[in-house]
Structure 1
Amino acid sequence: MTPPTVHPAQRIVDLGFGFILSGALSTAAELGVADRLVQGPRSAASLAEELGVHAQSLYRVLRLLASVEVFAEDEAGRFSLTPAAEYLRTDAPGSLHSAVRMLTQKIFWAPTGELTQTVRTGQTPFDHIFGKPFFDYLTSDPVQGDIFHQGMSSLSDMENKAIAGSYDFTPLRRVVDVGGGHGGFLIEVLQAAPQVRGVLFDHAHVLSGSRVARAGLSERCELVEGDFFQAVPAGADAYVLKRILHDWNDETCVTLLRHCRSAMAEGGRVLVVDTVIPPGNGPHGGKVLDVMMLASLPGRERTEEDFRKLFAQADLKLSRILPTPTAMSITEAVAA
Structure 2
Amino acid sequence: MFSLLMGCYASQCIAVAADLKIADYVHEAPRKPSDIARYTQCEARAMQRLMRALAGIGVFHEREDGSFELTVTGELLRSDIPGSLQPIARLIGSELQWPTLGNLSHTVRTGEPAFDHVFGMSMWEYLATNADAHALFHSSMSAFSTAEIRAILGNYDFSSAITVVDVAGGQGNLLAAIVDKYPHVEGILFERPEVTREARDQFVANGLGHRCRAIAGDMFSTIPSGADCYIMKSVLHNWGDERAAQLLRTCRDAMVDRATLLIITRVVRPANEPDLSKFQDLNMLINLNGAERTADEFRELLGSADLQLDEIIATPSPLSILVCTPGGSVR
TM interval, shorter chain, is: over 0.9
Q: Structure 2: 5+ residue runs without aligned partners?
A: none
Taking every aligned residue pair, what percent have the same amino acid on both sides? 38
Verify the 8 A CA contact 1:202 1:227 in the aligned structure 2: yes
Verify the 8 A CA contact 1:35 1:89 in the aligned structure 2: yes
Displacement of 1:273:
1.0
Secondary structure in 2 aligned to 1:90? coil
Report what 1:164 is aligned to: 153
Displacement of 1:26:
0.9
Displacement of 1:299:
1.1
Deviations 1:217-237 (A, max 9, x none): 333211222232232222221
Displacement of 1:115:
1.5
Verify the 8 A CA contact 1:249 1:298 in the aligned structure 2: yes
Verify the 8 A CA contact 1:284 1:327 in the aligned structure 2: no
Query: Does 2:223 match 1:229?
Result: no
Secondary structure in 1 aligned to 2:73? helix
Query: Does 2:83 match 1:104?
Result: no
Secondary structure in 1 aligned to 2:97? helix
Verify the 8 A CA contact 2:147 2:317 in the aligned structure 1: no
Quick one: which amino acid aligns to residue 334 of structure 1? T
Quick one: which amino acid aligns to residue 33 of structure 2? A
Deviations 1:207-250 (A, max 9, x none): 45545445443332112222322322222211111111011011
Report what 1:201 is aligned to: 190
Secondary structure in 1 aligned to 2:321? strand
Displacement of 1:54:
1.1
Q: Distance in 2 between matches of 1:33 and 1:209?
A: 31
Report what 2:316 is aligned to: 325
Q: Distance in 1 between matches of 2:206 and 2:2?
A: 47
Q: TM-score, normalised by structure 1?
A: 0.91
Superposed counterparts of 1:175-214, under 5 Å: 175-207=164-196, 209-210=198-199, 211-214=202-205
Q: Distance in 1 between matches of 2:124 and 2:104?
A: 19
Superposed counterparts of 1:120-135, under 5 Å: 120-135=109-124
Deviations 1:173-202 (A, max 9, x none): 111111111223223322332321112222
Quick one: which amino acid aligns to residue 266 of structure 2? T
Q: Distance in 2 between matches of 1:269 and 1:217?
A: 23
Distance verdict in 2 for CA 1:68–1:141, change over 3 Å: same
Q: Distance in 2 between matches of 1:178 and 1:74?
A: 50
Report what 2:78 is aligned to: 89
Verify the 8 A CA contact 1:318 1:334 in the aligned structure 2: yes
Distance verdict in 2 for CA 1:326–1:213, change over 3 Å: same
Q: Distance in 2 between matches of 1:61 and 1:270?
A: 47
Query: Does 2:257 match 1:255?
Result: no
Deviations 1:142-187 (A, max 9, x none): 2101111111010232222112321111100111111111223223
Report what 1:137 is aligned to: 126
Which has the higher mean CA deviation after the structures are superposed, 225-234 or 130-139? 225-234
Verify the 8 A CA contact 1:43 1:77 in the aligned structure 2: yes
Which has the higher mean CA deviation after the structures are superposed, 261-270 or 168-177? 261-270
Deviations 1:294-313 (A, max 9, x none): 22121111111211111121
Displacement of 1:132:
0.7
Report what 2:211 is aligned to: 220
Report what 2:135 is aligned to: 146
Q: Distance in 2 between matches of 1:230 and 1:196?
A: 26
Distance verdict in 2 for CA 1:145–1:96, change over 3 Å: same
Q: Structure 1: 5+ residue runs without aligned partners?
A: 1-11
Quick one: which amino acid aligns to residue 118 of structure 1? T
Q: TM-score, normalised by structure 2?
A: 0.92
Q: Distance in 2 between matches of 1:39 and 1:199?
A: 43
Report what 1:14 is aligned to: 3
Displacement of 1:27:
0.8
1:54 pairs, out of 34, 43, 64, with 43
Report what 2:304 is aligned to: 313
Distance verdict in 2 for CA 1:52–1:246, change over 3 Å: same
Which has the higher mean CA deviation after the structures are superposed, 275-284 or 299-308? 275-284
Q: Distance in 2 between matches of 1:290 and 1:51?
A: 34
Q: Distance in 2 between matches of 1:231 and 1:141?
A: 29
Verify the 8 A CA contact 2:165 2:187 in the aligned structure 1: yes
Secondary structure in 2 aligned to 1:296? helix
1:239 pairs, out of 224, 230, 252, with 230
